[in-house]
Structure formats: C-alpha cells, structure tokens
Amino acid sequence: MNRRDFLKVAGSGALIATTSGAAEARGNLPVPDNAVGMLYDSTLCIGCRACVYKCKEVNDMPNVVRDGEVQWDQAEELSGDTLNIIKAYKQGTGETKNSAVDGFAFIKRNCMHCVDAGCVSVCPVSAMQKDPETGIVSHNPDACIGCRYCVAACPYNVPKYEYDEAFGQIQKCQLCNQKGVERINKGLNPGCVEVCPTGANIFGTREELLQEAKRRLALKPGEDYTYPLERVGSTYGHVKAAPDYTQHIFGEHEGGGTQVMVIAGMEHTKLGLPDLPERSYASVSETVQHTIYGGMLAPAGLLAGLLYFARRSCKETDKEGEDEV
C-alpha cells in the first residue's frame, strides 16, 4: 500500500463514520489554566526581521547564506530550519501602512500553539504534546516516527519535515521552551519577543494578552496609547497614536482558539491567516476516530503500525514537497 492509497482508505473510513450519524461528539478542549502565548500586533510591526534572526540563534538553526553572506531577510517560508518568518502584504501602490487598498502590512508566521491542537490529536505516538499547564505544544524527536500526520493536520501549515537531512525530523516553534532552550521555564521571554524593537510581538498569559488585545481594539484611531515591550505591564514601552484596528482578535475563537493571537489593521485573510470555524479540527477528527474504533483494541497502535508501513513503502519515491503530504 503506498501512502496515497493509505490516505484514501483512511479518508473513506472517516467519511463513513461522519455520514453514519453515530459519532459521539466531543467539544473543543478548554484553555489550560496557566496558558501562555504571544500577541502579535501587525500594526506595530516594521518588518525588521530581528525576530527571525533571533529565532534561528536561539534554536541553533542555520542562517540563509547567499554569496557567502548571511541574509538578514532570511527565508521566505517556514521550513525544517526556519521556525518563524515575517511576510508582507502589499496591494496597489503599497504606500499606506495597514491599509488593505494601496497599502502594506506585515504578518509573523509561526506555530499558533492551538488550544485544541490538530497536530497533537493525530500524532499516533504522542511525539506532539500539549503541556497541561502552559499549553505549549512541543515535539519530542525521540518519540517521533516521521509519519508526518501532524503536517497534514495543522490548519496553519506549520510543522515542517527536514527533507534535506538523512534522518529528518519534524520542526516547529516550541515557544523557546524545549529541552536545551527552556527560556520560559527560566523566566525569560521567547527570543523573538526579546528582540522586537516595537513591541509588535509580546509574551504573557493568554488571558492577559487577550485583555491587552481588547484594550487596543477599543482605542479610537489617533488616540495615544502606551505600547509595552516584551510583556503586558512592562515598564518599557512607547507612546504611539492608535491605528484603525480591525475589530477582530485572530485566535480568540478560530479552530477552538490559539495561544498565539493576532490583531491587525485589516482582515486576517488578507494577511494569509485562514478562515476557520470555532470548532477545532481535533474535536471533529477524534469524534470520527472514536466512532470507527470504538470497542476495538489499541487504535493508536494500529494507526502507528499502518503509518509505519505506509512510510516505509513510499520511502523510495517520496520526493514531493511538504504541502502534498
């Protein structure tokens, strides 16, 4: 069985379960009590990419080098050695910051640390885990079997497989708290937050970030506001006239909510963020799984075994890009 056939079989099983009407629905998982995350305010971002550079340094990942020189603008897409990128929106003349028409804006892309994470839900060997306290979604390379189910299950196209490595692994932002880094455990801020010169990206508990986002959205355009650096309530900040915010906090509800949230001066879809229902994909897929495998032994083990053989059988021909997995 090659991988495409395997996915077809898995897909038909899901369809049968969905249409049978016998599914026992589970709701979205709740936000962990001490959930932490980041708030990215696109209107403050100047596209300097200091966060991209710092992310590579903290995570010991190679810089993009062209003609023997490290490139400050770095990579354009997330990859096995790039966990954080800044992308730009531009329309028409591209003259006005935060304007959807004849304007431009920036968007930071990295793992959203979903409240009810699809990558965690589908991982057959629990290599992807969500910390019950902080809600940080981390990846354990020692447990990972390389099935790349997490790649397919992420609505934000975040986990990336190291195709260039002989023993490739999945890579994604772990909020700078994985073994050997552990900035959050040490009371430090994530690397990308520490270097952000404008406070476009700040760290904190999800709750305080949500309250901060709501305060900003309530500002009148032009009203002075003290924007903190690094954390809500930080003694460092700068006063700036508020922009005309779009009245939407991306991640408050999308896909069951995320711990990395975004506010902006235009619709999130213009910045490449997906339109997602409030119900998480994980809650839907687990409902389907429980319907198919209810009463059977060790469904996760069975899935892991199937994935192992699917992976092995397609190893020789598996040269396609991550998006096709």
Residues forming the site for ligand SF4 (CB under 6 A)? 45-51, 54-55, 58-59, 83-84, 86, 106, 108, 110-114, 117-119, 137, 154, 156, 158-159, 172-173, 175-176, 190-192, 195-196, 198, 200-201
**103 neighbors 283 (Cβ within 8 angstroms):** no
Q: Which residue lies nearer to ligand SF4 by CB, 50 or 242?
A: 50
Cα distances (angstroms) measured from residue 144 to each of 83, 127, 198: 18, 5, 37
Tokens representing 204? 């904190």
Q: Which residue lies nearer to ligand SF4 by CB, 17 or 170?
A: 170
Q: Which residue lies nearer to ligand SF4 by CB, 196 or 303?
A: 196
3-state SS assignment for residue 97: strand
Least distance between ligand SF4 and beta carbon 293 (Å): 22
Least distance between ligand SF4 and beta carbon 22 (Å): 27
Tokens representing 166? 């002989």
Q: Which residue lies nearer to ligand SF4 by CB, 17 or 107?
A: 107
- Distance between CA atoms of residues 131 and 138, nearest Å: 8
Cα distances (angstroms) measured from residue 81 to each of 76, 130, 180: 12, 22, 17
Least distance between ligand SF4 and beta carbon 306 (Å): 21
Least distance between ligand SF4 and beta carbon 250 (Å): 12
Q: Which residue lies nearer to ligand SF4 by CB, 23 or 52?
A: 52
Least distance between ligand SF4 and beta carbon 273 (Å): 11
Q: Which residue lies nearer to ligand SF4 by CB, 58 or 232?
A: 58
Least distance between ligand SF4 and beta carbon 7 (Å): 18
- Residues recorded for the chain: 325
- Distance between CA atoms of residues 86 and 290, nearest Å: 39
DSSP annotation of 294 reads T
Residue 208 phi, psi dihedral angles, 5° rounding: -70, -30
3-state SS assignment for residue 33: coil
